[in-house]
Amino acid sequence: MAISYGMSLLVLVNYLHVHVKPMYQLYCILKDRDEPPTPDEIDVASAKRQLDATAKAEYLQKLEKSSQTIRKAFQDQQACALGPFDQEMFEQLLMEWIIACD
């Protein structure tokens, strides 16, 4: 089985997420931006430079804001759901699915 660029990137991202949280957080911030990374960000990512406390706090704040946006999106999606999912709703959806597939 050949490993593609996408697969190796996924492995790297998962590794960062589990083992190197600060670099994973930097990756998340950089991938969501429209502009390319700055020379300082490239130096940090390649371990040529350490983040100072102010820059680290700024990146962590951006990440937290991004996480809150994702949480809010899931909450909004949940609020727009079909309503309470109980036995009656399940049976209704199952019946509709069986009719549609028949």
- 23-81 pLDDT tens trace: 787 787 778 778 888 887 788 778 888 877 887 788 778 777 776 777 777 777 777 76
What is the pTM for the complete model shown? 0.43
Give me the number of domains the chain comprises.
1
What residue numbers bound the domain in which 46 lies? 5-101
More confident residue, 80 or 94: 94
Measured distance between the N- and C-terminal CA atoms of the chain, rounded to whole angstroms: 39
- Would you say residue 1 has pLDDT above 50? no
**Given a cut of 70, is residue 82 above it in pLDDT?**
no
Q: CA–CA distance from 3 to each of 19, 27, 41 (Å)?
A: 22, 21, 28
